[in-house]
Amino acid sequence: MPVDSKFPKIEDHGVLLNNRTAALVSKEGEVDFACFPNFDSEIVFSSILDREKGGYFSIRPVDSQLESRQYYEADTNILLTQFSDKRNKVLSIMDFLPMSFEHSVYFSEIHRRIETFTDVRVKIDFSPFTSGKRGIIEVADHKGFMFHSQSSSQFFSTDLDLDVEGDSVSGIVNLPATEVKWLVTAHNLRKAYPPELFASEDRLGQTRRYWKEWLLKSKYQGIFFDTVNRSLLTLKGLFFEPSGFMVAAPTTSLPESIGGERNWDYRFMWVRDTSYVIESLVQLGYVEEATKFYLSIIDRYEKDGKLFPIYKISEDSTLEEVTLDLSGYMNSRPVRVGNGASAQLQIDQYASLIIGLRFLLENAGFLSVHTLEKAFLIGDALLKIWKEPDSSIWEIRGDKKNYVYSKALAWRAFMDLGWLYSRMGEEEMASAVIKEAKNVKSEIYEKGVSGRGYFAQSYGSDE
């Protein structure tokens, strides 16, 4: 199990991102959540969900009295965890998931750079997968250690003198001042390779250039420059490059409240959430991400004949919801993979797409006439279903209701759909859709306002 059996605070983490997957790194230098090769793939490190069974990759000074802090290298998603005594820096760990300008080239690797500022004893612990799924450990002299699960492998590349202890690799190494050491973990390799073959310095330079050059496209020049840039980098990293779909979060089962049961798997694409993010990106000049998303989701709609509220990011996962035998963060059970909300009707998802599409087209976006024709199919579907009860943004697992939120978004979407029809020269359809928008608005004011005069959560409700 990890060096520290206590659960770290969720807020005491940094996140690594590379448009394929993500990893959480605690302030104590522990990678305690990561999936490979994709956001929704097998969970390789999961000690944030179970301190006894979960996998981990920990690097930290032996001296537990040192203070630690985390920060990102400016204008990148490269994370630094720094350990210091009361006067000076002692140890720094730089972590990143490699990026590539060639979108077809990706890396299922975490690169970790140890830099010392004084003589220091460092404790290293590595144990991927969950206990019970860890198989044999192959030792490759001067190269590292190969771990096997029931379905994959995880290689730990290092030339440090570490030992196999049960189903983990551990050791304490004495590092002199000004020492630099690279440790790399890579998913599903067939053979062991020495650290230098992973070319960490080259990958670091490439990753640094990628994030900095992408950020230069931003049009934002306000007083919250640093905050906006940090948000942009995080949002960009949550997009899955092959499809342009964005995960709602890179993790599963971190609780809404400690000890509660609302612990959901968010490693999927919610149409609503992505549409909102797309609008923000478009405002700041990132039209390419928005266009790619719309091309993908419209294509999926045409193939499926309906819009689902949730989509898989890759073929590695299933939306079928199952429970894992893990204790949960601070014993917040259950730990889930998959998400049962995928079967719900959420009318606002249809509306969000249409609203976002107009926003894209009004802000330098461009879609072919052929693609816009397909988009009208989504509008036609909304015209047919807007009166139905649904699960809406609340995703409550029970009886469907006439949620005011869904109705309000349908009203706005019909106004925007009328604009789209008019833009395409379909004035008769534009008039018909705008007339329907007025009908929705009238119904909301008739049925969606509580006796106290405010908009209710659903028709007939005082909430």
Kindly report, residue by residue over 85-133, the tens digit of the pLDDT. Answer: 989 999 999 999 999 888 777 899 999 999 999 999 999 999 999 988 8
Q: Which pLDDT does position 463 carry in this prediction?
A: 86
Give the whole-angstrom CA distance, residue 248 versus residue 265: 9
Give the tokens for residue 22. Answer: 């993500």
3-state secondary structure of 340: helix
Which pLDDT band holds residue 1 (cuts at 50, 70, 90)?
low
Q: Which pLDDT does position 2 carry in this prediction?
A: 61
Q: Which pLDDT does position 248 carry in this prediction?
A: 97
Flag whether pLDDT at 159 surpasses 90. yes
Which stretch of 30-44, 94-108, 263-277, 359-373 has the lowest confidence by average pLDDT?
94-108
* Residues 246/250/251/252 CA torsion (nearest 10 deg): 20
3-state secondary structure of 279: helix
- φ and ψ at residue 74, rounded to 5 degrees: -50, 130
Give the whole-angstrom CA distance, residue 398 versus residue 416: 31
Give the whole-angstrom CA distance, residue 261 versus residue 202: 44
11: burial class by Cβ within 10 Å (0-12, 13-18, 19+)?
exposed
- Rounded to 5°, the CA angle 431-436-442 comes to 130
Give the whole-angstrom CA distance, residue 458 versus residue 440: 14
Q: Nearest-CA neighbor of 8 among 48, 46, 35?
A: 48
What is the residue-averaged pLDDT of the chain? 95
Give the whole-angstrom CA distance, residue 425 versus residue 279: 25
Q: Which pLDDT does position 322 carry in this prediction?
A: 95
69: burial class by Cβ within 10 Å (0-12, 13-18, 19+)?
exposed
Determine the average pLDDT of the residues in 397-415: 95
3-state secondary structure of 153: strand
Q: Are residues 76 and 59 in contact, defined by beta-carbon separation less than 8 angstroms?
A: no
Q: Which pLDDT does position 164 carry in this prediction?
A: 96
The tens digit of pLDDT for each residue in 428-441 reads 999 999 999 999 99
Give the whole-angstrom CA distance, residue 212 versus residue 133: 39
Which pLDDT band holds residue 315 (cuts at 50, 70, 90)?
confident
What's the pTM?
0.95
Domains along the chain? 13-211 (2.70.98), 221-251+269-311+344-447 (1.50.10.10)
Q: Which pLDDT does position 133 carry in this prediction?
A: 83
Flag whether pLDDT at 424 surpasses 90. yes
Give the containing element (helix H, strand E) for 211: helix 200-215
3-state secondary structure of 226: helix
